[in-house]
């Protein structure tokens, strides 16, 4: 057990996974017992946990906290982000989002207009996706004991077939629904004072149009993830480790906008490690990959691409570079970028 907590421990990379395993080792060891009662969860480190209902369907449960800085950014706000993040965690778990509860913590002295603006964004985004806000909590901390505004949420949904990340196998295809890193790049640009062009904005948005397609293809969708902290680099490495496979992705097929590349180059970060807040990465049976790709494009995911393949292996991720070579795609370690979500 490490002696002191660092910022990297909360950044969503390998350090976060390790500290969760250490702090919750006893609960994780009970996972197989709980699974016998229809409870799926902590051992998979997935976006949601599941509780089987008497009718055979599953209640999906997710929880998150949002501490982004700045609170308002090109393409969104902490309120919009909190709603989108909660909804998306349920959708990529195969669940239809039903309800959200929230806990809002505000620093003493904060401008009421800013608080109302953020909360309005949160409420409007949830209502716009037909997700009920059914309860919550509001607290004020003395000045200096919390920075600005923090929103924590828990979401509940119903899934006929839960999508868990432990079903990926040799022969699967990896599909990405759109351009990566746009949220992380916008927040980084705000924080470091970089100029952004008119087209640059966070991709924070609900993945609601994806849900009918996940339901359509059912258990042929073997895994789904919204690649937030740590980007697709982290998501792919977690998948490879959990399933004991090798994943090879083609750099040339990964959509990255020029302005995202520009921000990445200035800051010296890999765009594959930047957060997306309105994208999904899918591992699917090869028999449906082309059909699903067409459906994605027909349903608004115009940038969707098949970006890679799953092979037999031992938990590694390889990137086929633009010049044709292969390199190991490591999970992003350390403090990648502060306060992106």
DSSP string, 218-276: GGGEEEEE---TTHHHHHHHHHHHHHTEEEEEEGGGS---HHHHHHHHHHT--GGGS--
Read off the pTM.
Answer: 0.94
How far apart CA 25 and CA 16 sit, in angstroms, is 14
Would the CA dihedral through 246, 252, 254, 257 be positive or negative? positive
How far apart CA 203 and CA 75 sit, in angstroms, is 7
Architecture of domain 38-159: 2-Layer Sandwich (3.30)
Sorted by sequence, the CB contacts under 8 Å of residue 185 that are 6+ apart come out as 200, 259, 260, 263, 264, 271, 274
| Delimiting residues of CATH 3.30.1330.10 domain(s) in the chain | 38-159
Sorted by sequence, the CB contacts under 8 Å of residue 79 that are 6+ apart come out as 117, 118, 119, 120, 121, 122, 123, 125, 151
- Smallest Cα–Cα separation from 151: which of 123, 175, 132? 123
Sorted by sequence, the CB contacts under 8 Å of residue 274 that are 6+ apart come out as 180, 181, 182, 183, 184, 185, 188, 231, 260, 264, 336, 337
Question: Is the bond leading into 306 cis (omega within 30 degrees of zero)?
Answer: no
Length of the chain: 341
Residues in the chain with pLDDT values less than 50: none
The neighbouring-strand residues paired with 281 are: 176, 225
How far apart CA 160 and CA 57 sit, in angstroms, is 5
- Smallest Cα–Cα separation from 240: which of 148, 324, 328, 162? 328
Q: What is the pLDDT of residue 336?
A: 60
The neighbouring-strand residues paired with 10 are: none
Read off the DSSP letter of residue 9.
G
| CATH entry 3.90.650.10 includes domain 173-328 | yes
| Delimiting residues of CATH 3.90.650.10 domain(s) in the chain | 173-328
Q: What is the pLDDT of residue 25?
A: 83
Q: How far is CA 71 from CA 169, 195, 214, 242, in A?
A: 40, 18, 32, 34
Q: What is the pLDDT of residue 165?
A: 92
Q: What is the pLDDT of residue 335?
A: 60
* Contact status, residue 4 vs residue 328, Cβ threshold 8 Å: no
What is the CB neighbour count within 10 angstroms for residue 169?
13
How far apart CA 86 and CA 103 sit, in angstroms, is 13
How far apart CA 330 and CA 115 sit, in angstroms, is 39
How far apart CA 287 and CA 291 sit, in angstroms, is 8
Read off the DSSP letter of residue 286.
G
């Amino acid at each position: 057990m490490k002696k002191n907590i660092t910022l990297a421990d909360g950044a969503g990379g390998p350090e976060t996974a390790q500290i969760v395993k250490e702090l919750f080792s006893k609960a994780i060891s009970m996972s197989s017992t709980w699974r016998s009662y229809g409870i799926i969860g902590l051992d998979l480190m997935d976006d949601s946990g599941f509780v089987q209902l008497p009718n055979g369907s599953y209640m999906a449960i997710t929880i998150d906290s949002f501490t982004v800085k700045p609170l308002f950014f090109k393409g969104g706000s902490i309120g919009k982000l909190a709603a989108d993040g909660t909804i998306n965690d349920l959708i990529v778990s195969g669940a239809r989002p039903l309800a959200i509860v929230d806990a809002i913590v505000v620093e003493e002295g904060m401008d009421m207009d800013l608080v109302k603006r953020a909360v309005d964004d949160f409420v409007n985004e949830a209502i716009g996706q037909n997700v009920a806000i059914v309860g919550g909590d509001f607290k004020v901390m003395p000045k200096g004991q919390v920075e600005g505004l923090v929103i924590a949420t828990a979401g509940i949904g119903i899934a006929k077939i839960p999508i868990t990340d432990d079903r990926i196998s040799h022969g699967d295809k990896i599909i990405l629904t759109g351009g990566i890193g746009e949220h992380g790049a916008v927040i980084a640009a705000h924080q470091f004072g970089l100029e952004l062009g008119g087209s640059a904005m966070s991709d924070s948005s609900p993945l609601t149009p994806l849900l009918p397609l996940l339901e359509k293809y059912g258990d042929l969708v073997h895994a789904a993830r919204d690649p937030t902290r740590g980007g697709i680099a982290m998501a792919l490495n977690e998948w490879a480790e959990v399933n004991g496979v090798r994943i090879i992705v083609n750099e040339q097929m990964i959509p990255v906008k020029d302005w995202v590349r520009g921000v990445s180059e200035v800051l010296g970060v890999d765009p594959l490690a930047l957060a997306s807040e309105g994208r999904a990465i899918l591992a699917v049976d090869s028999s449906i990959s082309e059909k699903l790709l067409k459906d994605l494009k027909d349903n608004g995911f115009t940038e969707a691409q098949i970006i890679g393949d799953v092979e037999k292996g031992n938990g590694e991720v390889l990137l086929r570079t633009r010049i044709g070579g292969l390199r190991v795609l490591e999970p992003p370690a350390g403090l990648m970028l502060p306060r992106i979500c």
